[in-house]
Structure 1
């Protein structure tokens, strides 16, 4: 895998683009802090951008399946760079409306770029290398997040907001240039495959029903999302609970490092154990991490909870991505990954609003019990069904062996 130039192009591009993305996100927060006093209006602005990405999902999925994935990556890369021009204008005129156009442009380009990237990965590595590739890819994204946010924080102390966005745009430009060097083996499709690729967005639903492992992975993804959706709000509340500003940085660091460890370990585990069983184990450990935040007023307990969560999702997501890439027909990859992208965005917003509501009404310690218990119940109920299905399929496989004897 490491001798494949496409792997290096994607990983290097992901790191550079990640730096630009997170520098831009910190820039967004800085701009909103200057021009938007209301937290409610800030949230509305961010949600508007996300909703634009969700609305574009069906068109993005259909286009990715029916067009060259490399061309989709290139066009969405150009659109991302052009979107930054709105932000330069927003800074120049102090206009929130121009920033809204920037957020919509960024989210629209992301709605095409990320599903196309997920659909491209199975085209550059072998099936047995997918878990390792997905794990390394997520580690690179995590590393770029840590470095990008830290770099933006340092830069804002010394340079203007315009310079931060200029560097962000330069990173997007490097990603665009690297995309031209990708060599994707996009074979000429047959007439039947063309009909499948040009079908409607909702055709992904019957495909999911025929791929129970992929459907299981999609449902189990709800469990880490219950934690991720309220991540930032929980960090702020833990900091207030412990009356420590330093703990915020430590929680992010511990979670990020644990995630990277999990993503490195998952390849060995995936080679030895059933993928669905592994997902159930990591869903269970994610639920435990959520419940253990009841004791988040203790410094070491909060670090342990976030460390366990990072390790769990570092193993969970590479396995989930591999299941999606291998169990869903490649002709449906664009529509499926667009559908998953839409689902993640909607779920994130629902959990974020639910977290805010529960924090205001019952507080952090009881909120984590509610979400943790929900995660645990989903894991146990759904896990029981999946384990029974696995044992039945194993029994069916053994029947022909007995007959042959």
Structure 2
């Protein structure tokens, strides 16, 4: 593990810069493609179904991505996948025709999800390799802030570009971003020790999966219990947020793509704020209080439904939904950094990639179901979307109350020590 006490050492800085460029391109694509689909079809059900299908590879392939991340040079994985993504995106831009938009966008989002399944474990598991133990939570917070900053600027610029110029320039900007990120990552020096191949590929995969599951289920069962809570939140709040926000803002409130992009940017600013707060108060955050963060997230949902119930003017509803969406994202960011840092601290170095990928896979496995469900719910309640949002908030509060004992049972660890 890198013992350099400096937070922004050379290699960590290159990872951060590469992430800024890559994630910006990813953010504008993930903003524009679903919005184009929603505007084209006007159906939240089609929108939700495509989003759900695109999440399935992430749930199924992330564990394999983690196994690869622990056995192959992580720098090489990041470089190769960014080059591949750049090529796929540019080819998509060249062959895209509106008549086949639903199929092409569906295929494109599935391919991006497959690549992300292998890319994310490499990035997450590289952080402990490039950071000293005392800087681990701060390093995670920085990476989280980069993701949030990209998610903030991506929708804002994506909304403007999409509103004024359409989808095509966004596609090519995304392709160029992935190419530049790959070039940046070539210069990263990442510790890597090649493991001897002692058995067949199938045996290696089977053994690594067994080790990861054993660690999560038996050695650290509290991780699995916490993951079940995260799955429940993703099934309801995350899925409602992903499907509901574009549907409510652009269809129910009748506002423009530009305003939706601004709302998305402001909400992502909340995630950035959460990352900043973690950096400032990391020594005061304890995992046994994580359920309080979730409770705050659940309470943020209720005002969003209330303004729609009251039938307030569109811009007032827009402002309230955006503000509480920003607050929810700030709390979600704090929770994510807290729990990811905890897992990285208690996980042996040889298992980090596999365990992190299993966590990502399990945490998102409920999202395809949730997104398909909310696409259907928003379609049948198009005249009263507040019922869906308000109901989601109440369910989330119940989940939070039920999770209290799980988080209070976590063994407290000093986040600034290994």
TM-score normalised by length of structure 2: 0.79
After superposition, the C-alpha distances for 1:230-254 in whole angstroms (9 at most, x for unaligned) are 1144335654899573875664344
How far apart are the structure 2 equivalents of 1:233 and 1:48?
13
Alpha-carbon distance, 1:340 to partner: 2.7
Aligned counterpart, 2:93: 88
How far apart are the structure 2 equivalents of 1:57 and 1:152?
28
Alpha-carbon distance, 1:323 to partner: 1.6
Q: Flag the structure with larger Rg.
A: 1
2:138 corresponds to 1:132: yes
How far apart are the structure 2 equivalents of 1:240 and 1:185?
47
How far apart are the structure 2 equivalents of 1:35 and 1:49?
18
2:189 corresponds to 1:183: yes
The equivalences for 1:89-168 within 5 A come to 89-91=94-96, 95-96=100-101, 97-156=103-162, 159=165, 161-168=167-174
Runs of 4 or more off by more than 6 Å in structure 1? 194-198
Alpha-carbon distance, 1:6 to partner: 1.8
Is residue 222–residue 410 contact of structure 2 (8 Å, CA) maintained in 1? no
RMSD: 3.5
Alignment gaps of 5+ in structure 1: 394-405
Is residue 214–residue 327 contact of structure 1 (8 Å, CA) maintained in 2? no
Is residue 157–residue 261 contact of structure 2 (8 Å, CA) maintained in 1? no
Aligned counterpart, 1:199: 207
Aligned counterpart, 2:293: 282
Pick one of 268, 279, 290 that aligns with 1:267.
Answer: 279
SS of the residue 2:131 aligns to = coil
Alpha-carbon distance, 1:111 to partner: 1.0
How far apart are the structure 1 equivalents of 2:43 and 2:253?
24
2:354 corresponds to 1:335: yes
Is residue 204–residue 332 contact of structure 1 (8 Å, CA) maintained in 2? yes
After superposition, the C-alpha distances for 1:254-288 in whole angstroms (9 at most, x for unaligned) are 422222222111234331242232x1220111122
Is residue 213–residue 323 contact of structure 1 (8 Å, CA) maintained in 2? no
Is residue 230–residue 351 contact of structure 1 (8 Å, CA) maintained in 2? yes
Is residue 57–residue 341 contact of structure 1 (8 Å, CA) maintained in 2? yes
Pick one of 51, 66, 70 that aligns with 2:71.
Answer: 66
How far apart are the structure 2 equivalents of 1:366 and 1:261?
30
SS of the residue 2:366 aligns to = helix
Is residue 89–residue 98 contact of structure 1 (8 Å, CA) maintained in 2? no
Is residue 62–residue 198 contact of structure 1 (8 Å, CA) maintained in 2? no
Aligned counterpart, 2:216: 208
After superposition, the C-alpha distances for 1:322-367 in whole angstroms (9 at most, x for unaligned) are 1222222222222223223333433222222333444455644333
After superposition, the C-alpha distances for 1:292-350 in whole angstroms (9 at most, x for unaligned) are 43423464654553243122112111112212222222222222232233334332222
Distance 1:190 1:44, change over 3 A: same
Is residue 25–residue 175 contact of structure 2 (8 Å, CA) maintained in 1? yes
Aligned counterpart, 2:33: 28
Distance 1:317 1:386, change over 3 A: closer
TM-score normalised by length of structure 1: 0.81
How far apart are the structure 1 equivalents of 2:408 and 2:32?
46
Larger relative contact order (CA 8 Å, sep ≥ 6): 2
Alpha-carbon distance, 1:48 to partner: 3.6
2:228 corresponds to 1:219: yes
How far apart are the structure 1 equivalents of 2:323 and 2:37?
33
Number of aligned residue pairs: give it. 390
2:307 corresponds to 1:296: yes
Is residue 267–residue 329 contact of structure 2 (8 Å, CA) maintained in 1? yes
The equivalences for 1:37-56 within 5 A come to 40-56=45-61
Distance 1:235 1:165, change over 3 A: closer
